[in-house]
Amino acid sequence: MPQPARETLSADDIIIATGSQPVMPTIPGSDLPGVITSDGAFLLPEVPARAVVVGGSAVGAEWASLFRTFGAEVTLVEMMPTLLPAEDTEIGRALTRSFTKRGIKVLTRHTVTAVEGEDEGHGGLRALVADADGEPVESLSADIVLFGVGRRPNTAGLDLEKAGVHTDDRGYLPVTDRLRTNVPHISAIGDVTGGIQLAHVASHQGLVAAAVVSGHDERIDYRAVPAATFTHPEVASVGLTEAQARETGHEITAARFPFAALGRAHAYGATDGMVKVVADRSSGAVLGAHIIGPGASDLIAEAALAVTHGVTLKGLVDTIHAHPTLGEATMEAAMGALGLPLHTAPVRRRR
């Protein structure tokens, strides 16, 4: 087969944006038909009747939620104590409760150690599950087993070494806060940099890199990156979790406000979930916010602005929020953190 024609391009600056791809773990049976990653899920010709999803972070949780929405019998297996382990633990526990109510079987502190073909011979699979001690506990029947447990950078074949561009031991491209690699005039953005692998982060990196190439002194700041997980219910967060805030030496105050107390949520018929705010006790500065519930991915923008610009709890409370809206939950949570709740019982202020 003839090779495609190659073309040599010259430029003053090069920006590498080759992204990443899902990783398939090397366990017995990972090469069987029906064992897929998130990329393979997009190619499924129909909704599987039975799905085992391995990995309870954003990718796995989103696919588990989607499969269940379309009627599949779903089991979600996560090795950590809660789903969405990068999120505040209260959010992970709340998502587990919501998934369980929807009929998704959630197995935390478990792993899939192997996949086998079913004995009946009609194309089914069995996922072998072990507990936190590695002891076999269950065999799950499935039509597909989806692994959402990691990614690797698309740097193979780029011949980066010929240009002197350094990669780390996983193949990612370390960059400065101006998105420069170790080689002048070669930059990198997106998943290939090995940082926060979110589409909106890659887009913002692109803006910064383009500005730097154009001669501006722009720099990337990752202190207030919002994350959104498009499950049902949605999850979104920004800044520090309660545990992270304590670990970094903050004396904090934290409070939450349930969507069940909002008229707008009742009008939507979606009252599960809450908004949680975490703030520094002495200054009142908002350190983080964590949301599970309707519109979480939209509501997080206000909190991201607060964390980015050092807005205090009082600043959120003093900002008039339209009524009836879901956004009132952020203001109400801030009031609770100040010990001034309007529509819920006073929240014990954590020390």
Would you please indicate which residues are annotated as catalytic (active-site) residues? 323
Contact 289, 275 (CB under 8 A): yes
Q: Dump the DSSP string for 56-124.
A: -SHHHHHHHHHHHHTT-EEEEEESSSSSSTTS-HHHHHHHHHHHHHTT-EEEESEEEEEEEE-TT-SS-
Ramachandran bin of 214, using left for φ above 0, alpha for ψ from -120 to 50, beta for the remaining angles:
alpha
Contact 52, 143 (CB under 8 A): no
Task: Give the three-state DSSP class for 27.
Answer: coil
Please give the structure tokens belonging to residue 168.
């780390």
Q: In 10 A of CB 174, how many CB atoms?
A: 15
Contact 239, 286 (CB under 8 A): yes
